[in-house]
Structure 1
Amino acid sequence: MESLVVTGPSALEWRDVPSPRLHDDQDALVRPIVSATCDLDRRIVAGGSPFEPPFALGHEAVGEVLEVGDDAGSLAPGDLVVIPWHISCGGCVNCLRGLPGTCSSVPRLASYGTTAGGKWGGLFDEVVRVPWAAHNLVALPATVDPRVAASSADNLTDAFRAVAPVLRADPAASVLVVGGTASLGLLTVLCARTLRAAAVTYADTDAGRLAKAAELGATALALAEYPDRVDGDFDLVVDASANKAGFRCALLSTRPGGTCVIRSIYFGDVPLPYFSLYATGITLVTGPPHATPLVPDVLALIADGSLDPSPILAGPYDCADAVDVLLAPPPGKPQFIRPRIMSDRHADRGAVR
Structure 2
Amino acid sequence: MPHQVKAVVARAPGAPATLETVTVPDPGPGEALVNIQACGVCHTDLHYLQGGIGTEFPFLLGHEAAGVVESVGPDVTDVAEGDFVILNWRAVCGSCRACRRGRPWYCFDSLGVTQPTTLDDGTPLVAALGIGAFAEKALVAAGQCTKVNAAAPAAAAGLLGCGVMAGFGAAVHTGGVSRGDTVAVIGCGGVGMAALAGAELAGATRVIAVDIDARKLDLARGFGATHTVDSTATDPVQAVRELTGGFGADVVVDAVGRPETYRQAFYARDLAGTVVLVGVPTADRTVQLPLLDVFGRGGALKSSWYGDCLPSRDFPQLIDLHLRGRFDLDRFVSETIDLTDVQGAFDRMSRGEVLRSVVRL
TM-score surpassing 0.5? yes
For 1:223, the equivalent position in structure 2 comes to 231
Does residue 156 (structure 1) correspond to residue 164 (structure 2)? The answer is yes
For 1:346, the equivalent position in structure 2 comes to none
Aligned residues: 327
Task: Check 1:327–1:205 CA distance in 2 against 1; reply closer, same or farther (3 A cut).
Answer: closer
TM-score scaled by length of structure 2 = 0.81
Selected match of 2:249 from 199, 217, 234:
234
Task: Check 1:11–1:226 CA distance in 2 against 1; reply closer, same or farther (3 A cut).
Answer: farther
Q: Give the C-alpha shift of residue 227 in structure 1.
A: 4.6
Q: Give the C-alpha shift of residue 314 in structure 1.
A: 1.6
293-302 or 77-86: bigger deviation? 293-302
Selected match of 2:357 from 334, 341, 344:
334
For 1:56, the equivalent position in structure 2 comes to 60
Letter in 1 for 2:27: L
For 1:40, the equivalent position in structure 2 comes to 44
Local SS of the residue matching 2:109: coil
Question: Is the Cα contact below 8 Å between 2:39 and 2:360 reproduced in 1?
Answer: yes
Q: Give the C-alpha shift of residue 320 in structure 1.
A: 3.3
Selected match of 1:271 from 287, 291, 298:
287
- Write 1 or 2 for the structure with the bigger share of helix: 2
Q: Give the C-alpha shift of residue 258 in structure 1.
A: 0.9
Q: Give the C-alpha shift of residue 256 in structure 1.
A: 0.9
Selected match of 1:303 from 323, 327, 334:
323
Q: Give the C-alpha shift of residue 250 in structure 1.
A: 0.7
Question: Is the Cα contact below 8 Å between 1:22 and 1:129 reproduced in 2?
Answer: yes
Letter in 2 for 1:75: V
Question: Is the Cα contact below 8 Å between 1:193 and 1:217 reproduced in 2?
Answer: yes
165-174 or 196-205: bigger deviation? 165-174
Q: Give the C-alpha shift of residue 43 in structure 1.
A: 3.8
Task: Check 1:171–1:209 CA distance in 2 against 1; reply closer, same or farther (3 A cut).
Answer: same
Q: Where does 1:82-231 land on structure 2 (aligned, <5 Å)?
A: 82-96=86-100, 97-100=102-105, 102-104=107-109, 120-131=130-141, 133=142, 135-165=143-173, 170-179=178-187, 182-218=189-225, 219-224=227-232, 227=235, 229-230=237-238, 231=240
CA distance in 2, matches of 1:328, 1:176: 26
CA distance in 2, matches of 1:167, 1:288: 12
Does residue 28 (structure 1) correspond to residue 32 (structure 2)? The answer is yes
Task: Check 1:51–1:164 CA distance in 2 against 1; reply closer, same or farther (3 A cut).
Answer: same
Letter in 2 for 1:248: R
Task: Check 1:308–1:183 CA distance in 2 against 1; reply closer, same or farther (3 A cut).
Answer: same
CA distance in 2, matches of 1:331, 1:220: 19
Question: Is the Cα contact below 8 Å between 1:167 and 1:173 reproduced in 2?
Answer: no
| Structure 2: 5+ residue stretches without partners | 118-124, 242-247
Question: Is the Cα contact below 8 Å between 1:30 and 1:129 reproduced in 2?
Answer: yes
CA RMSD of aligned residues (A): 2.7
Local SS of the residue matching 2:35: strand
CA distance in 2, matches of 1:50, 1:128: 21
CA distance in 1, matches of 2:271, 2:71: 52
Local SS of the residue matching 1:328: helix
Question: Is the Cα contact below 8 Å between 2:174 and 2:302 reproduced in 1?
Answer: no
For 2:120, the equivalent position in structure 1 comes to none
TM-score scaled by length of structure 1 = 0.83
Task: Check 1:222–1:284 CA distance in 2 against 1; reply closer, same or farther (3 A cut).
Answer: same
% identical aligned pairs: 22
Task: Check 1:148–1:324 CA distance in 2 against 1; reply closer, same or farther (3 A cut).
Answer: same
Deviations 1:49-80 (A, max 9, x none): 14223211111100210111232114221211
Task: Check 1:235–1:105 CA distance in 2 against 1; reply closer, same or farther (3 A cut).
Answer: closer
Q: Give the C-alpha shift of residue 158 in structure 1.
A: 1.3
Question: Is the Cα contact below 8 Å between 1:187 and 1:309 reproduced in 2?
Answer: no
| Structure 1: 5+ residue stretches without partners | 339-353
Letter in 2 for 1:51: G
Deviations 1:215-245 (A, max 9, x none): 3341110111795834412001000123221
CA distance in 1, matches of 2:175, 2:90: 26
Task: Check 1:325–1:157 CA distance in 2 against 1; reply closer, same or farther (3 A cut).
Answer: closer
